[in-house]
């Protein structure tokens, strides 16, 4: 008899990859307010809002999952108040209540975010926060709710996805591939920029191992590849897939100028300019996260940078 896994937010980027990973070996249920990105996943989807406590409890009770992967959240940075991110706060409370009402659940993994700390800040421990957005603040509250709640029948882990990329991704991380395809990416000349990003299929592998491993129960960990990538090297790998050549480099002050133009165009109503000051800061800030505890358990990830890039390129071309 197949085990059952319930995925909240299974129509999103990470959730879509989770459903695809488990659909043949588990009985899978995706609850989401949005229909699946992958039309082949419609059979696994039930339209449920995690803010609808009654419907949420009913679906947990009737499905009786063995595992829950809570990925549902409001993830954009457009909200101005915590009320705009109620799904990340009240939604977590509702998930915990539904879990406590469902004795079959053995493990639940809660997705938080790296943005509980501003970009470039390295926290001293999992309780050290420095948000720069209201979204980050909402995720901090969600983490604190999990830690302070009595989840009586199930073990739990909080994961903070870093910048994940791969099949089924969207804005903003798909933008990096898009601007390289359009030959609009110019790397700041002479700068080596190191990032701890995550190929999504590596991160699904980590989640799968953590479902069965108890060593990190009740801890908060970063969900990421283990090796840092150098942005220029990665950009060249992507560009070689599209164009058979490396990306161009220009002085940083020119990128700064174009980012200001992007800021102005956004004010004038352009929804997704290729470069803004926020994106330039994102690009050029070194990004490191401590994943040693996870590495000690996982040992080796299934895909290296080149393999992940090729898989993503093939998906994009479809």
Per-residue pLDDT of the chain (318 residues; tens, 9 = 90+): 899 999 999 999 999 999 999 999 999 999 999 999 999 999 999 999 999 999 999 999 999 999 999 999 998 888 999 999 999 999 999 999 999 999 999 999 999 999 999 988 889 999 999 999 999 999 999 999 999 999 988 899 999 999 999 999 998 789 899 999 999 999 999 999 999 999 999 999 999 999 999 999 999 999 999 999 999 999 999 999 999 999 999 999 999 998 999 999 989 888 778 788 888 887 888 999 999 999 999 999 999 999 999 999 999 998
* DSSP code of residue 117: B
DSSP conformation letters of 50-96: TT-HHHHHHHHHHH--SEEEE------S---SGGGGGGGTHHHHHHH
Domains along the chain? 4-161 (3.40.50.720), 166-196+225-318 (3.90.25.10)
Distance CA(239)–CA(253), nearest Å, equals: 23
DSSP conformation letters of 118-174: -TT---SSTT--B--SHHHHHHHHHHHHHHHS---S-EEEEEEE-SEESTT--TTTH
Identify any residues that bridge with 5 across adjacent strands, giving them in sequence order. Answer: 28, 67
């Amino acid at each position: 008899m197949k085990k059952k896994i319930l995925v909240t937010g299974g129509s999103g980027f990470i959730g879509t990859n989770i459903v695809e990973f488990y659909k043949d070996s588990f009985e899978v249920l995706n609850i989401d307010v949005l229909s699946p990105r992958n039309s082949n996943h419609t059979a696994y989807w039930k339209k449920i809002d995690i803010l609808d406590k009654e419907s949420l409890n009913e679906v947990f009770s009737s499905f009786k999952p063995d595992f829950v992967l809570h990925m549902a959240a409001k993830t954009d940075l457009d909200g101005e108040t915590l009320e705009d991110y109620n799904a990340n706060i009240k939604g977590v409370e509702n998930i915990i209540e539904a879990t406590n009402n469902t004795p079959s659940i053995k493990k639940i993994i809660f997705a938080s975010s790296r943005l509980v700390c501003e970009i470039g800040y390295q926290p001293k421990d999992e309780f050290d926060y420095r948000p720069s957005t209201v979204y980050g603040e909402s995720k901090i509250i969600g983490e604190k709710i999990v830690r302070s709640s009595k989840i009586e029948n199930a073990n739990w882990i909080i994961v903070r996805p870093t910048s994940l990329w791969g099949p089924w991704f969207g804005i903003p991380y798909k933008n990096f591939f898009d601007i390289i395809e359009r030959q609009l990416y110019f790397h700041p000349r002479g700068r080596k920029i190191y990032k701890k990003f995550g190929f999504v299929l590596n991160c699904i592998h980590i989640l799968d191992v953590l479902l069965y491993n108890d060593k990190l129960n009740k801890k908060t960990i970063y969900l990421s590849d283990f090796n840092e990538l150098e942005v220029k090297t990665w950009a060249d790998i992507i560009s070689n897939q599209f164009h058979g050549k490396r990306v161009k480099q220009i002085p940083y002050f020119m990128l700064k100028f174009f980012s200001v133009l992007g800021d102005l165009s956004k004010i004038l109503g352009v929804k997704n300019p290729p470069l803004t000051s926020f994106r330039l800061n994102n690009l050029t800030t070194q990004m490191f996260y401590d994943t040693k505890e996870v590495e000690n358990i996982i040992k080796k990830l299934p895909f290296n940078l080149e393999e992940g890039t090729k898989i993503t390129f093939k998906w994009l071309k479809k």
